[in-house]
Structure 1
Amino acid sequence: MPAEQIEALIKAALPDATVEMEALVEDNDHWLARVTSDAFSGKSRIQQHKMVFAALGDRMGGELHALQLHTSVPN
């Protein structure tokens, strides 16, 4: 799954999000995503990650094999 598609799915669910994608392996299947959003305010890290995974739906484990997440609230 290309980085642009992952970014678009995340931004569709979290419109204010800033998403930075980094390939962990050059196979379009293993990514690191740094996601910053005001929507994460007051949420635990687990809740933040669940929000991102919900945006990706059933693509996780299928089209997208591995996604490492770093989530944060804007400074």
Structure 2
Amino acid sequence: MSTTIELMQQKLATLSPANIQIIDDSAKHAGHAGAKSGGGHYQLRIVSSAFAGENTVARHRMIYDALGDMMRQQIHALSITAQTPEEVKN
């Protein structure tokens, strides 16, 4: 059985990330309504050339599309940092 983080990594692989880091912050939100329903709180840092030429909203939509149903079930809150490899170098 894969963990939620492993499933997230698998789904986000469609964006061909050069780097991906996912942190589970769910324990910090124990008792929160989203935590009670089973959805976790996560921080995502992802670097991908797929984001080139896209604004922040478009990048987030690409991530939400890749994660699909996870955004309605396993994930309650997702903090996103999405950059291109060039942005990381600067």
Structure-2 residue corresponding to 1:29: 40
Figure out how many residues of one structure are paired with residues of the other and give that number: 74
- Report which of the two has the higher share of helix: 2
TM-score relative to the length of structure 1: 0.84
Gaps of 5+ in 2: 28-34
Which amino acid in 1 is paired with 2:74? Answer: E
TM-score relative to the length of structure 2: 0.72
Which amino acid in 2 is paired with 1:69? Answer: I
CA contact (8 A) 2:4 2:74 kept: no
Gaps of 5+ in 1: none
- Calculate the aligned-residue CA RMSD, in Å: 1.8
The runs of 4+ residues in structure 1 deviating greater than 3 Å are none
Establish whether residue 68 from structure 1 lines up as the match of residue 70 from structure 2. Answer: no
Cα displacement string for residues 30-55 of structure 1 (whole angstroms, at most 9, x for unaligned residues): 10000110010000010001000000
In the alignment, the residues of structure 2 paired with residue 53 and residue 15 of structure 1 have an alpha-carbon distance, to the nearest angstrom, of 15
- Which of the pair has more CA radius of gyration? 2
Which amino acid in 2 is paired with 1:33? Answer: L
